Structure 1
Amino acid sequence: MLYHRIILAVDLTDESIKVANKAASLCQATGAELTILHVIESLNYAYGGDVPIDITDIQTQLQETAKERMSILEAQIDVAKKETCVTQGGIESEIHRIAEEKQADLIVVGSHCRHGLALLLGSTANGVLHGAPCDVLAVRVTKD
């Protein structure tokens, strides 16, 4: 199966380049268009709307930092057609929403090796897999 539109969902950690390189390789092999996506989990969403202070400045700063890091990541990968998107909300639901909006054939996410309690509670990659509108590739990333 050839892919035409790939969503690369990154958390902007140092390991993101490994996941990005895998997505770039797939794009080069299939001629697919790439959308690089980062979701900032809204503090209101993360805390169930019970944030007693005005978090507008914090959210704005998170957006600016994410856009800067996305520019750096975008410059590090070699793909002809690419678009970046920084959005805010629930991580899995936003990845699903953007994948549907872009009519993606594949979502590429990093899968960190989790152990213990983190493994039992699940991961973002697992959350993306369930309910995704297309194929999902979880790229195993480890700290070197």
Structure 2
Amino acid sequence: MSYHNILVAINTNENLKTIVNKGVEIARNHNATLSTIHIDMKFEDFYIGELDFDFEKYDEMARTRSQSDILAKLGDLDYPVTNSIICSGELSNEIIETIKENNIDLLIMGHHHYSRLGQFFMSVSAPLIEAMPCDILLVKVTQ
């Protein structure tokens, strides 16, 4: 199988380089385009209350901070990144929408081993895999 458009789902943690380097390796081997996506949580989706708070401003600040963190960590990448997407929302929905809009044929993302309780609260892999419109590669990373 040959891949043409690869999307790497990234976070701003220490595993970012491991996951992106796997994307670079595969993109280089297939002469494919490489894009990244980072999704910040929408604060308003998790806030319940009466507080007068500017959610739009908070989301914009979070995206700006994420963008500068990612650019700093990917500054020395030796492969062109065609598109670097930073958005906020529900992870599965944002990734699937991006895959469809950009004709992605391989998604690469990190996978952590969680305890049973951690799997219940933290793992988004299973629902995402169920709805995935393309191939997916899970890269095992340390916590």
TM-score normalised per structure 1:
0.88
1:6 aligns with 2:11: no
Secondary structure at the aligned position of 1:35 is classed as strand
CA contact 1:44–1:51 (8 Å) conserved in 2: no
Deviations 1:38-64 (A, max 9, x none): 0111112234x7573222332121011
Deviations 1:15-72 (A, max 9, x none): 111111111100111011011100111112234x757322233212101111102212
CA contact 2:112–2:141 (8 Å) conserved in 1: yes
The residue number in structure 1 matching 2:42 is 42
Mapped to 1, the partners of 2:81 and 2:118 lie a distance apart of 36
Mapped to 2, the partners of 1:64 and 1:116 lie a distance apart of 34
- Greater shift in the superposed pair: 80-89 or 12-21: 80-89
CA contact 2:17–2:74 (8 Å) conserved in 1: no
Return the offset for 1:128.
2.3
Mapped to 2, the partners of 1:7 and 1:36 lie a distance apart of 5
Mapped to 1, the partners of 2:108 and 2:87 lie a distance apart of 17
Give ranges in structure 2 of 5+ residues lacking alignment: none
Percent pairwise identity: 21
Letter paired with 1:9: A
Secondary structure at the aligned position of 1:104 is classed as coil
Mapped to 2, the partners of 1:77 and 1:130 lie a distance apart of 31
Mapped to 1, the partners of 2:127 and 2:12 lie a distance apart of 18
Using a 3 Å threshold, how does the CA distance of structure 1 residues 80 and 45 change in structure 2: closer, same or farther?
A: same
Secondary structure at the aligned position of 1:95 is classed as helix
RMSD: 1.8
Using a 3 Å threshold, how does the CA distance of structure 1 residues 50 and 129 change in structure 2: closer, same or farther?
A: farther
Letter paired with 1:34: L
The residue number in structure 2 matching 1:110 is 110
TM-score normalised per structure 2:
0.89
After superposing on structure 2, the runs of 4+ consecutive aligned residues of structure 1 that deviate more than 3 Å are 49-52
Secondary structure at the aligned position of 1:11 is classed as coil
Give ranges in structure 1 of 5+ residues lacking alignment: none
Mapped to 2, the partners of 1:141 and 1:105 lie a distance apart of 22
